[in-house]
Amino acid sequence: MSKLTASETIILGIDPGTTIMGFGIIRVQGKQMEFVQMNELILRKYDDPFTKLKLIFDRTLELIDTYHPDEIAIEAPFYGKNVQSMLKLGRAQGVAMAAGLSRQVPITEYLPKKIKMAITGNGNASKEQVARMLQSLLELKSLPKNLDSTDGLAAAVCHFYNQGKPTGAKSYSGWEAFVKQNTGRTSE
Protein backbone atom coordinates (compact mmCIF):
# COMPACT_ATOMS: atom_id res chain seq x y z
CA MET A 1 0.00 0.00 0.00
CA SER A 2 1.23 3.45 -0.74
CA LYS A 3 0.19 6.85 0.42
CA LEU A 4 -2.90 8.08 -1.38
CA THR A 5 -2.90 11.65 -0.10
CA ALA A 6 -0.54 13.91 1.77
CA SER A 7 -2.83 13.82 4.82
CA GLU A 8 -2.90 10.02 5.09
CA THR A 9 -0.92 8.36 7.87
CA ILE A 10 -0.39 4.63 8.40
CA ILE A 11 0.25 3.51 11.99
CA LEU A 12 1.61 0.06 12.84
CA GLY A 13 0.91 -1.04 16.41
CA ILE A 14 2.92 -3.87 17.96
CA ASP A 15 2.37 -5.93 21.10
CA PRO A 16 5.76 -7.64 21.43
CA GLY A 17 6.01 -11.12 22.85
CA THR A 18 8.14 -14.23 22.64
CA THR A 19 5.13 -16.56 22.51
CA ILE A 20 2.86 -14.40 20.34
CA MET A 21 3.62 -11.02 18.77
CA GLY A 22 0.40 -9.18 17.99
CA PHE A 23 0.16 -6.35 15.49
CA GLY A 24 -2.46 -4.08 14.01
CA ILE A 25 -2.47 -1.43 11.32
CA ILE A 26 -4.72 1.58 10.91
CA ARG A 27 -4.96 4.27 8.23
CA VAL A 28 -5.65 7.81 9.36
CA GLN A 29 -7.03 10.51 7.08
CA GLY A 30 -7.61 13.81 8.80
CA LYS A 31 -9.33 12.94 12.07
CA GLN A 32 -10.74 9.62 10.86
CA MET A 33 -9.14 6.22 11.45
CA GLU A 34 -9.80 3.11 9.43
CA PHE A 35 -8.90 -0.50 10.19
CA VAL A 36 -6.40 -2.00 7.74
CA GLN A 37 -5.22 -5.28 9.25
CA MET A 38 -4.42 -7.18 12.44
CA ASN A 39 -2.76 -10.51 12.97
CA GLU A 40 -0.21 -12.29 15.08
CA LEU A 41 3.06 -14.08 14.75
CA ILE A 42 2.91 -17.39 16.65
CA LEU A 43 6.30 -18.14 18.19
CA ARG A 44 5.52 -20.83 20.79
CA LYS A 45 6.46 -23.64 18.40
CA TYR A 46 10.09 -22.48 18.38
CA ASP A 47 12.35 -23.49 21.27
CA ASP A 48 15.39 -21.40 20.40
CA PRO A 49 15.04 -17.83 21.77
CA PHE A 50 17.36 -16.45 19.05
CA THR A 51 15.16 -17.92 16.31
CA LYS A 52 12.16 -16.18 17.90
CA LEU A 53 13.98 -12.85 17.91
CA LYS A 54 14.99 -13.23 14.25
CA LEU A 55 11.40 -14.07 13.31
CA ILE A 56 10.13 -10.97 15.16
CA PHE A 57 12.69 -8.80 13.37
CA ASP A 58 11.90 -10.33 9.96
CA ARG A 59 8.10 -10.10 10.39
CA THR A 60 8.34 -6.47 11.51
CA LEU A 61 10.45 -5.63 8.45
CA GLU A 62 7.95 -7.44 6.23
CA LEU A 63 5.08 -5.40 7.72
CA ILE A 64 7.03 -2.16 7.21
CA ASP A 65 7.94 -3.05 3.63
CA THR A 66 4.34 -4.09 2.81
CA TYR A 67 2.29 -1.36 4.52
CA HIS A 68 4.83 1.50 4.65
CA PRO A 69 3.80 2.81 8.08
CA ASP A 70 4.61 6.42 8.84
CA GLU A 71 4.85 5.63 12.55
CA ILE A 72 5.10 2.65 14.87
CA ALA A 73 3.43 2.45 18.28
CA ILE A 74 4.75 -0.31 20.51
CA GLU A 75 3.63 -1.55 23.89
CA ALA A 76 6.36 -1.17 26.50
CA PRO A 77 7.14 -4.18 28.70
CA PHE A 78 5.40 -3.87 32.05
CA TYR A 79 7.31 -4.28 35.28
CA GLY A 80 6.33 -7.63 36.71
CA LYS A 81 7.73 -9.87 39.40
CA ASN A 82 9.31 -12.32 36.96
CA VAL A 83 12.58 -10.76 35.82
CA GLN A 84 13.21 -13.46 33.19
CA SER A 85 9.85 -12.79 31.52
CA MET A 86 10.53 -9.07 31.51
CA LEU A 87 13.94 -9.61 29.92
CA LYS A 88 12.41 -11.79 27.20
CA LEU A 89 9.73 -9.17 26.50
CA GLY A 90 12.36 -6.44 26.42
CA ARG A 91 14.35 -8.37 23.83
CA ALA A 92 11.23 -8.91 21.71
CA GLN A 93 10.41 -5.21 21.93
CA GLY A 94 14.02 -4.31 21.14
CA VAL A 95 14.22 -6.31 17.92
CA ALA A 96 10.86 -4.94 16.73
CA MET A 97 12.15 -1.42 17.47
CA ALA A 98 15.43 -2.18 15.70
CA ALA A 99 13.50 -3.24 12.59
CA GLY A 100 11.59 0.04 12.61
CA LEU A 101 14.70 2.09 13.27
CA SER A 102 16.52 0.32 10.43
CA ARG A 103 13.81 1.62 8.07
CA GLN A 104 13.80 5.10 9.67
CA VAL A 105 10.21 4.75 10.93
CA PRO A 106 9.57 6.87 14.06
CA ILE A 107 8.65 4.76 17.10
CA THR A 108 6.67 5.67 20.21
CA GLU A 109 6.30 3.28 23.12
CA TYR A 110 3.31 3.29 25.44
CA LEU A 111 2.80 1.65 28.80
CA PRO A 112 -0.02 -0.94 28.84
CA LYS A 113 -2.09 1.21 31.23
CA LYS A 114 -1.80 4.20 28.88
CA ILE A 115 -3.05 2.09 25.97
CA LYS A 116 -5.97 0.69 27.98
CA MET A 117 -6.87 4.17 29.20
CA ALA A 118 -6.84 5.58 25.65
CA ILE A 119 -9.11 2.83 24.34
CA THR A 120 -11.53 2.21 27.22
CA GLY A 121 -11.07 5.11 29.63
CA ASN A 122 -9.90 2.59 32.25
CA GLY A 123 -6.18 1.88 32.72
CA ASN A 124 -7.04 -1.43 34.39
CA ALA A 125 -9.35 -2.72 31.64
CA SER A 126 -9.10 -6.38 30.63
CA LYS A 127 -7.86 -7.57 27.24
CA GLU A 128 -11.48 -8.51 26.46
CA GLN A 129 -12.77 -5.01 27.27
CA VAL A 130 -10.09 -3.44 25.06
CA ALA A 131 -10.91 -5.86 22.22
CA ARG A 132 -14.66 -5.19 22.43
CA MET A 133 -14.11 -1.42 22.41
CA LEU A 134 -11.85 -1.74 19.34
CA GLN A 135 -14.50 -3.88 17.68
CA SER A 136 -17.02 -1.10 18.21
CA LEU A 137 -14.68 1.79 17.28
CA LEU A 138 -13.36 0.19 14.09
CA GLU A 139 -16.53 -1.75 13.17
CA LEU A 140 -14.73 -5.11 13.22
CA LYS A 141 -16.97 -8.02 12.23
CA SER A 142 -15.31 -10.45 14.62
CA LEU A 143 -12.49 -10.71 17.12
CA PRO A 144 -9.54 -13.11 16.93
CA LYS A 145 -9.20 -16.10 19.26
CA ASN A 146 -6.00 -14.72 20.77
CA LEU A 147 -6.20 -11.09 21.80
CA ASP A 148 -2.54 -10.30 21.16
CA SER A 149 -3.46 -8.90 17.74
CA THR A 150 -6.08 -6.60 19.28
CA ASP A 151 -3.41 -5.47 21.78
CA GLY A 152 -1.20 -4.49 18.83
CA LEU A 153 -4.14 -2.74 17.19
CA ALA A 154 -4.83 -0.95 20.49
CA ALA A 155 -1.28 0.45 20.49
CA ALA A 156 -1.90 1.94 17.02
CA VAL A 157 -5.26 3.43 18.06
CA CYS A 158 -3.72 4.79 21.28
CA HIS A 159 -1.07 6.51 19.16
CA PHE A 160 -3.77 8.01 16.93
CA TYR A 161 -5.60 9.39 19.98
CA ASN A 162 -2.37 10.84 21.40
CA GLN A 163 -1.08 12.55 18.25
CA GLY A 164 -0.09 16.11 19.00
CA LYS A 165 -0.52 15.67 22.76
CA PRO A 166 2.30 15.48 25.27
CA THR A 167 2.09 11.84 26.37
CA GLY A 168 5.10 11.10 28.49
CA ALA A 169 5.73 8.27 26.04
CA LYS A 170 9.20 7.70 24.64
CA SER A 171 9.70 8.35 20.94
CA TYR A 172 12.61 7.54 18.68
CA SER A 173 13.10 8.70 15.10
CA GLY A 174 16.27 6.76 14.37
CA TRP A 175 19.35 5.17 15.91
CA GLU A 176 20.89 8.55 16.69
CA ALA A 177 17.82 9.67 18.65
CA PHE A 178 17.65 6.34 20.48
CA VAL A 179 21.32 6.57 21.53
CA LYS A 180 20.93 10.21 22.68
CA GLN A 181 17.89 9.33 24.80
CA ASN A 182 19.47 6.19 26.29
CA THR A 183 23.04 7.20 27.14
CA GLY A 184 23.01 5.02 30.24
CA ARG A 185 22.08 1.95 28.19
CA THR A 186 24.82 2.29 25.59
CA SER A 187 28.59 2.14 25.75
CA GLU A 188 31.29 3.41 23.47
Q: Decide if 75 is catalytic.
A: yes
138-154 per-position pLDDT tens digit: 999 999 988 999 999 99
Q: According to the annotation, is 139 in a ligand binding site? A: no
Q: Which of 40, 109, 148, 151 is catalytic?
A: 148
**Given this model, what pLDDT does residue 169 score?**
55
Q: According to the annotation, is 75 in a ligand binding site? A: yes
Query: Is residue 48 within 8 Å of 87, Cβ to Cβ?
Result: no
**Given this model, what pLDDT does residue 182 score?**
58
Highest CATH level, class, for 8-178:
alpha beta
Q: According to the annotation, is 70 in a ligand binding site? A: no
Residue 152 DSSP code:
H
Nearest to 36 by CA among 153, 122, 115: 153
pLDDT beneath 70, residues of the chain: 1-6, 79-80, 164-188
Q: Decide if 65 is catalytic.
A: no
**Given this model, what pLDDT does residue 1 score?**
44
What is this structure's pTM? 0.84
Q: Decide if 148 is catalytic.
A: yes
